[in-house]
Amino acid sequence: MNETLRPSTLGEILDRTVTLYRSRFLVFFGLAAIPAGMMMGFSGGMVLLLASTGFLSGPAATPKPETFALVFLGMMALGLIALPLLIASNALCGAALCQAASSVVLGGGQIAIASSLKSVWKRGWQYIGLFVLQAVIIFGVPSTLWTAAVMVAAVGAAIAGTAGGGGAATGVLTVVLVLLTMMALAVYVIWIMIQIGLAFPIAVIEKAGPIDALKRAWKLCRGTRWRMLALFAMVLALSWIASLLVTVPLMLAIYLIPGLNSPQNAQLAGTISLMGMYAMSFVSNALTMPVIAIALVLFYYDQRVRKEAYDIEWLMQQAGMIAAPSPQPQLAPWLPSTRSISADGAPPSPAPEALTPPPQVPEPQAKTEQQPEPEPHEPIAGASA
């Protein structure tokens, strides 16, 4: 399926994304369902925690004061468990999606969930580091700036209120500044996502480190910013449609089933609503994550074709006219391999050649010097017996 290795328009890239997604739907959806399922599981655990302590019972039932500490500790424990697992699953499954999409684009044959995850397992720390670095650049920086701006605005409003003059005008000015800051940070998020959006395909396909992948993505994305912006807009629209398909029937069921929206069933209705929201998040994430991964891989190859003539290089490699790039050295697995222990719990037996002792080479024997044989004595003439 390497007919896409040519300069393509935005419509062709989007059409090819849908075609590839449909051709391997179960594999792509299964890979994306892993982090989405983890997110849904931890969210469900949080809902059960809130429901068991009475926080979803409505305003009529006020929780006891001692339950607040229990809820806080429970949410902290869930967060400490969920955050590392969510980061690792999103990074590894995102890399596996890029690897699977690249294999399909280049005509690599059949793909599977297990083989795609296995292919990215040894570089797990690299992909986790890239995922965290992208999150810090895209969301961490604007969040920090937003917090600083809100604190400055609050301090300025407090000082103006203490001075006793122009309180209303100061409040309006503070709101305007906060809104402008929000708009500026939103523009920054969109702009930086476009600049480093190709980092994950580069890290997976070219086996680049996190910093090198970000630098190359910044350079390679030139000329495709508007098309990538259209891609992100399409993904947001798809996520919104998927969420509507889940929430609308759920809300109709809550309001149309007799007695479900009554005050007596407030806890049950609140629990169902929250679980429906998490189910909506699961469906939208599992459906849209493969779309963005496949489209980014296609954008990556399209940019390499436009800037580096990769289509000609690929055809020459297939024809044997030039040597393929030398493989990168294999890294040690970041976690123990799942093949190190057999199914019955015993360690794997050594290879047959490891059991065969090396052939013994006979040592050359040292040459001994031959002693000269004694010469026979001649009889003496005239000697009598």
What residue type is 94 in one-letter code? G
Q: Which residue has the higher pLDDT, 263 or 284?
A: 284
Is 60 exceeded by the pLDDT of residue 160?
A: yes
pLDDT at site 367: 46
Nearest to residue 296, comparing CAs of 342, 253, 235? 235
pLDDT tens-digit series, residues 309-350: 887 887 787 677 665 555 555 555 555 554 444 444 455 555
Nearest to residue 301, comparing CAs of 285, 313, 286, 291? 313
CB 4 within 8 Å of CB 298: yes
Neighbours of 64 (CB within 10 A): 9
The percentage of the chain sitting over the pLDDT mark of 90, rounded to a whole number, equals: 23
The total number of residues written for the chain in this structure: 385
Query: Could you identify the residue written with the tokens 């990769």?
Result: 310
Q: d(Cα 289, Cα 266) in Å, to the nearest integer?
A: 34
pLDDT at site 257: 66
Nearest to residue 246, comparing CAs of 273, 220, 267, 211? 273
The percentage of the chain sitting over the pLDDT mark of 70, rounded to a whole number, equals: 69
- What residue spans define the domains of the chain? 24-308
Query: Could you identify the residue written with the tokens 């490699």?
Result: 317
Q: Which residue has the higher pLDDT, 202 or 285?
A: 202
Nearest to residue 197, comparing CAs of 239, 231, 237? 231
pLDDT at site 64: 65
**Mean pLDDT value across residues 272-276:** 71
CB 83 within 8 Å of CB 38: no
**Mean pLDDT value across residues 276-281:** 76
Q: How confident is the model at residue 281 (pLDDT cuts 50, 70, 90)?
A: confident
Q: Indicate the SS3 state at residue 175.
A: helix
At residue 32, φ and ψ (nearest 5 deg) are -75, -25
Is 70 exceeded by the pLDDT of residue 96?
A: yes
pLDDT at site 39: 87
pLDDT tens-digit series, residues 294-305: 999 999 998 888
Q: d(Cα 242, Cα 263) in Å, to the nearest integer?
A: 30
Q: d(Cα 116, Cα 101) in Å, to the nearest integer?
A: 10
- Least confident window among 36-50, 175-189, 200-214, 231-245: 231-245
Q: d(Cα 98, Cα 12) in Å, to the nearest integer?
A: 19
pLDDT tens-digit series, residues 39-95: 888 887 887 777 777 665 555 455 566 667 777 788 888 888 889 999 999 999 999
Q: Which residues are CB-neighbours of 302 under 8 A, at least 6 positions away?
A: 4, 7, 8, 13, 224
At residue 280, φ and ψ (nearest 5 deg) are -60, -45
Q: How confident is the model at residue 120 (pLDDT cuts 50, 70, 90)?
A: very high
Nearest to residue 41, comparing CAs of 96, 93, 71, 86? 86
